[in-house]
Structure 1
Amino acid sequence: MSSHESHPARVIPLRPVTGAPAPAPAAKEPLLRHVVGDVLRRERQAQERTLKDVADAARISMPYLSELERGLKEPSSEVLAAAAKALGLGLADLLALSHRELIRLAAPAPVRRLGTAFHPARPAPRQGEVRLAA
């Protein structure tokens, strides 16, 4: 064969063809800096305080606090403690709020199935009760 002749194309599947659908991709874990930033912003806004006010109280720059709230920076524990204190929180409080938010974000969405509490017309079986589908 000369270099100008074409070769038949060979298809190589990316996954085995078994008839079963490919598994759904795993949900992406939220980044801690995004969660902490959201908590900082939410707490600041709940107190009706400005970025400038909280940044001054924490002794950090206003642009840096803004970047923290938007999840653009990975703050040190000292900076987190200062921002938390400026909001009237301890570092443990900030981390506990962030932990709750992480759990909420990482929780899988409930699966809707017939015959469960998701469908009140068909209540879930009581413990020990067996139901057969026809």
Structure 2
Amino acid sequence: MNTVVRLQPKHEARQAPRVPEPEPLWREAVGRQLREERHRRGERIADVADRAGISPQYLSELERGRKEASSEMLSAVAGALDLTVRDLVDGSSRHLAGLGQRAQAASGRMTLLAA
């Protein structure tokens, strides 16, 4: 049986509770991944959008995390960047995992699992 014990330093108990930052949205992580890949390739937004069959404005909104793309749309944009949807998912997941680890470390809390 596993028991979770949360340890909190004494000095934190006296401080006002921290307001947690909102978790990043999936569409923001995917958009970041798309923009990074486009920049890495040195391509203009208009060229990638043209190959994907979408407007440059829509691709810009995707890259900024303003729009939630369908799987078909993600596939088209990924293909225009010579990526697969899996490549986008993998990169976005790594980005989100890294943010989660940093947030946990910044909270100063430690979780121990006892068997």
Superposition TM-score, scaled by structure 2 size: 0.74
Residue in structure 2 matched with residue 62 of structure 1 by the alignment: 56
Higher relative CO (CA 8 A, sep ≥ 6), structure 1 or 2? 2
Please give the per-residue CA displacement for 1:53-88, whole angstroms capped at 9, x wherever unaligned: 100111111110011111111111110111111101
Structure number with the higher strand fraction is 2
Give aligned-pair identity as a percent.
48
Residue in structure 2 matched with residue 72 of structure 1 by the alignment: 66
Is 1:33 the counterpart of 2:35 in the alignment?
no
Deviation at 1:108, TM superposition (A): 2.9
Deviation at 1:34, TM superposition (A): 1.1
Q: Partner letter of residue 27 of structure 2?
A: R
Map 1:1-134; keep pairs closer than 5 Å.
20-109=14-103, 110=105
Q: Figure out how many residues of one structure are paired with residues of the other and give that number.
A: 94
Residue in structure 1 matched with residue 7 of structure 2 by the alignment: none
Aligned CA-pair RMSD: 1.8
Gap regions ≥5 residues in structure 2: 1-12, 109-115
Rg (Cα) greater in structure: 1
Superposition TM-score, scaled by structure 1 size: 0.64
Contact 1:30 1:106 in 2 (8 A): no
